[in-house]
Every structure is written in C-alpha cells, then in structure tokens.
Amino acid sequence: MAHSNAAELAKAVPECVSGCFNIGVAATGCGEDDFDCWCYDKNHETVVDTMSECLGNRERKLNESCSEDEIFQMENSYWKICEQYWEDYGTATEPATKSTSVPKSSP
C-alpha cells in the first residue's frame, strides 16, 4: 500500500519538477490520486523515463533546468510514496494480473 500521506508527499514535489512528474504519471494511465498504481514496476519505469525526457527537452529547448536539490526532493517524495512496494521490508504487492475480460451482460 502506498504511504498513508501520499497526497501530501505528491504535493511536496517541487514546482520546477512537478509539471514533468505529472506528465510521467499521466503516461502510466494511473489516476492522479491512485498512488498504488504509480508504484507498480512498469509504471515507475514509465514515470521516470517520461519525466526525464520532459526535463531534458525543457532544458534543451528553453534552457531551463531544475536544481539538484529540487530533483532530490522529487525523488525523495516519490520514494516515500512507494517505499512499501520498492523496499525488501515492504508489505505492498502488485496485483498478479489485471482483468482484461469484458463483463457479460445479463439477459
């Protein structure tokens, strides 16, 4: 299970990084407040890759970059949200499978 204070931790992501972080979360298809979904391995990879690409593009095109401290604050907030998924001592687990079947309609 994601951190009980996940909403506040997400709000703590520095403004410089938050736009790209939010784009990364949106790329997963997870809801903006579905913090457990943010933590699943594949989604974590999507958030990080998309955010890194966004930050890199912003730096190249606009010559704007975030400080190392801002990046660290974002990483720390994201880690705290997902700690129970990512650490060996964590108790959260990803769903084994996701249902892709269409429910049958009743006659």
Q: What is the pLDDT of residues 36-60, one digit of tens each?
A: 999 998 999 999 999 999 999 999 9
Give how far Cα 31 sits from Cα of 11, 37, 55, 80, 105, Å.
15, 8, 22, 18, 27
Q: 41 labelled as ligand-binding?
A: no
Residue 106 has pLDDT above 60, yes or no: no
How many angstroms separate the CA atoms of 52 and 61, rounded? 14
pLDDT for residue 97: 58
Answer with the residue of higher pLDDT: 94 or 26: 26
Taking only the tens place, the pLDDT of each residue in 80-98 is 999 888 777 767 777 775 5
pTM of the model: 0.78
* Contact between 38 and 32 (Cβ < 8 Å): no
